[in-house]
Copies of this chain bind each other. A is one copy, B any other.
Amino acid sequence: MAVKIAGYLLDLDGTVYLGERLIPGADRAIETLRTRGRRIVFLSNKPLQARRDYAAKLTHLGVPASENDVINSSYVLARYLSHHAPGATVYAIGEPPLLAELRAAGFAISEDPKKIEYVIAAFDRTFDYRKLNIAFQALRRGARFIATNPDRTCPVDDGEIPDAAGVIAALEATTGRKVETVVGKPSHHTVEVALERLGLPADACAMVGDRLETDIVMGRGAGLTAILTLTGVTPRDAVSTASVMPDHVIESITVLPDLDEKLNT
């Protein structure tokens, strides 16, 4: 019998783990899917860690993963820029792992507004006025304006903290310009990198995540099967009023193998 869903794009926080805790049974569920030959890639919108750090965390939690199994927004951004402006001189409001990702992809990083061709706005817990002004001056001189992820806030152990939306908004408000591209979820740029990694077409893949406005919007928009899991930020009663509906809703990733079986028969 033909396999319909051969690949899964799995969101991380809220789907595979919650902070530092694995969703109970996520390890066995993923192992089961892999045993059936399903290809899996893990997605995060956070540009704060290197992909190998996510892989190490997953492996430590019982889900063996390598750097190549993980796609985050800094990686998607480096891929996007490699395609559109290889070797460009860039400036990023971002943390060291983002800068390392950019350098590794062959970009020159400059703080000279006259030289900066691309300004990159990201989630940056070391954001300050000096960085804002460098990016501002470069944008006023005509630099391109892109961002890693559109999130307003990032969940942390004791609540939430300001995410990349604050950096994007500060630059938009002071320059009068609008960000041109935000590559992270729900952008199609993230899907494209993930499908390329899986080596599968969109209609052979499912996106699994806990956020309607990113995971489900992105999955449906790109033609994937969109599966909402209820272990993260979305309660079940929010589903009925969603502007973009998931194709399927599961209590937890634990039951994803059951759904996989149904989808593939």
Contact = CB atoms under 8 A, between A and B. Distances in A.
A49 interface: no
Interface in A123-170: 124-129, 132-133, 136-137, 140, 152-153, 159-163, 165-170
A171 interface: yes
A173 interface: yes
B170 A167 contact: yes
A174 interface: yes
Interface string A52-71: 00000000000000000000
Copies of this chain present in the complex amount to: 2
Query: Which of A136, A166, A167, A175 has the most chain B CB atoms inside 10 A of its CB?
Result: A166
A153 B172 CA distance: 12
Query: Which of A127, A165, A171, A173 has the most chain B CB atoms inside 10 A of its CB?
Result: A173
A contact residues, range: 20 to 34
A176 interface: yes
Contact of A129 (B126, B169, B173): B126
Contacts of A168: 173
A124 to B, nearest CB: 7
Contacts of A159: 137, 140
Nearest to A163: B174
Contact of A165 (B161, B165, B173): B173
B162 A170 contact: yes
Given A128-B127, A132-B127, A160 B173 contact: no
Contact of A166 (B125, B126, B165, B171): B171
Contacts of A169: 169-170, 172-174
A127 B129 CA distance: 5
Nearest to A173: B169
A167 B172 CA distance: 11
- Which 3 residue pairs of A and B lie closest in terms of their CB atoms, listed nearest first? A169-B173, A162-B174, A166-B170
Given A136-B166, A152-B175, A168-B173, 6 more contacts: A124-B129, A128-B129, A165-B174, A166-B170, A167-B170, A170-B170
